[in-house]
């Protein structure tokens, strides 16, 4: 996945060497509590889920798609360098992750966000309550992943997600 465009930006799958620049890109969002802090090892363990946007070999955007169940995946860690805002890069990253979700055969894409209007513009809608059947809910409870806990609306993650909106896109 190498998508160059006339503006010099290219989207591609992340590599292990991108983890440090991804973490640097995400850090300001963590500091403002827009994104949840994760240890470095979490980024390395999930690097294959990430795409990055490069501008002259510098990572200026990122996003990840994490499959949570056979029919649902989550958009995670969608971030753009502040100097790149307003160029449509966040939308390009999100659209690429949605295509990836379709390619993987999931029917729904979840996100937990403060950027409600942005995600609504791509068809996401706010959800309340359980988004899966009771039997799937019980299975998903076995996950140690905080993103799954956020999707399920579990109390143990509420302090870290105050003010965020749970949203879902039906593909």
Ranked by mean pLDDT, the top range of 65-69, 94-98, 126-130, 154-158 is 94-98
- Report the DSSP pairing between strands 58-69 and 3-4: unpaired
Distance CA 6, CA 38 (A): 34
pLDDT, residue 135, reads: 80
Structural contact between residues 158 and 164, judged by C-beta atoms closer than 8 angstroms: no
Structural contact between residues 66 and 30, judged by C-beta atoms closer than 8 angstroms: no
- Please report whether residue 3 resides in a domain: no
- Please report whether residue 1 resides in a domain: no
- Please report whether residue 166 resides in a domain: yes
- Please report whether residue 2 resides in a domain: no
In whole angstroms, what separates CA 73 from the centre of its chain?
9
User: pLDDT tens for residues 90-136?
Assistant: 999 999 999 999 999 999 999 989 999 999 999 999 988 777 776 87
Neighbour-count burial for 5-30, b at 16+ CB within 10 Å, e otherwise: eeeebbbbebeeebbebbbebbeebe
Does the pLDDT of residue 86 top 70, yes or no? Answer: yes
- Report the DSSP pairing between strands 165-170 and 3-4: unpaired
Please report, for the domain that includes residue 26, its CATH number. 3.40.630.30
- Please report whether residue 67 resides in a domain: yes
Confidence of residue 161 (pLDDT cuts 50, 70, 90): low
Confidence of residue 85 (pLDDT cuts 50, 70, 90): confident
Kindly report the pTM of this predicted structure.
0.86
pLDDT, residue 3, reads: 47
pLDDT, residue 8, reads: 74
- Please report whether residue 5 resides in a domain: no
Nearest CA to 107 among 67, 76, 136, 134?
67
Mean per-residue pLDDT for 157-164? 62
- Please report whether residue 104 resides in a domain: yes
- Report the DSSP pairing between strands 108-113 and 72-80: parallel
User: pLDDT tens for residues 4-61?
Assistant: 454 578 999 999 999 999 999 999 999 998 888 899 999 999 999 999 999 989 999 9
Domain with 135, as residue range(s), is: 10-170
Nearest CA to 11 among 86, 80, 109?
80
Structural contact between residues 27 and 77, judged by C-beta atoms closer than 8 angstroms: no
What is the domain count for the chain? 1
From the CB of residue 168, how many other CB atoms can be counted at a distance below 10 Å?
18
């Amino acid at each position: 996945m190498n998508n160059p465009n006339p503006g010099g930006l290219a989207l591609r799958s992340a590599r292990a060497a991108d983890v440090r620049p991804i973490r640097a890109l995400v850090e300001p969002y963590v500091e403002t509590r827009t994104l949840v802090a994760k240890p470095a090892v979490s980024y390395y363990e999930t690097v294959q889920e990430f795409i990055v946007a490069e501008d002259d070999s510098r990572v200026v955007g990122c996003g990840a798609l994490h499959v949570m169940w056979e029919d649902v995946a989550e958009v995670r860690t969608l971030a753009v360098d502040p100097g790149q805002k307003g160029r449509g890069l966040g939308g390009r990253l999100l659209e690429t992750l949605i295509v990836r979700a379709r390619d993987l055969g999931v029917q729904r894409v979840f996100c937990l966000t403060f950027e409600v209007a942005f995600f609504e513009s791509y068809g996401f809608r706010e959800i309340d309550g359980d988004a899966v059947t009771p039997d799937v809910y019980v299975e998903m409870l076995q996950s140690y992943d905080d993103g799954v806990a956020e999707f399920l609306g579990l109390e143990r993650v509420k302090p870290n997600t105050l003010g965020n909106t749970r949203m879902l896109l039906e593909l």
